[in-house]
Structure 1
């Protein structure tokens, strides 16, 4: 983690304002532009609790050596914005990745997409049925493909990742997303995601 902090502080447009041990009071982290959480020392329940509390005031980015054993869906539901690998191979890319996130993009490691897709496929059958039922119950009429894409939007994935998981081109995913915006009467992604999450509560 010290190497990551040093790399970020070398950037002209970034500065790490503080470093906290994850067991310190979470209130001490509040109010920063972006909060990076090194997830590796966390127990799963601690990780989701920390992300959930921090999400109210911050953009939360998770750092990890190995994402494959993480409960990524639970982290996404807790409010994780993006996931970045902190391995030595990827450390030089962290600053550029953070710039992309600052511009509104979401990030998951490319190598993680296929295993994540398999995990989502196993879980999504039941979740999609519940999601589709709630859409119908709330009078939101979406096509089957739009429901799938809306579900992935609700999880906080970016267009490229949604396209991969929904097995469509990125351009096609954008068209479906624009239809979803139109049907919900908004052009704001955060509003759409909030509406979907509120619907499932």
Structure 2
């Protein structure tokens, strides 16, 4: 099963890199200049239920983080844009990690747990990283882009999102988080 998953992930990554619909290394690889801040949603959408595991294998649900602002990021070690934005996510996490009203869920859907652990340790990230239980991304959060990040208010409503690489060090992001903490 693990080797099939590795083959499937590799094939998917090759598809993304080599296809016109995906990234072309020479023309469309993300750079620090192409990172953007999240976009506020005009409509209230309830975040879907889904299950994910921490690096120790313990099962979690999004509902455990109710009454907190959740920064939910779907990523993969194979995704150039995901790797590019990770330092800015780490900087945002460093700012809020001690805030009991903010939670970070950095969730990989297509990586084996050991690959995520190695990535995290090698780059010395302290972000809490998780693995999706089943599907690459839950229905309702499957916008197609990798990475994809959602800011969810304490009532479980998706208030902002960004499909693609984000600049989480942008000054507008903490302002948005502070606003969501008051909802």
Normalised by the length of structure 1, the TM-score is: 0.28
- Which protein is richer in helix relative to its size? 1
Which protein has the larger Cα radius of gyration, Structure 1 or Structure 2?
Answer: 1
Structure scoring higher RCO (CA < 8 A, sep ≥ 6) equals 2
- Which protein is richer in strand relative to its size? 2
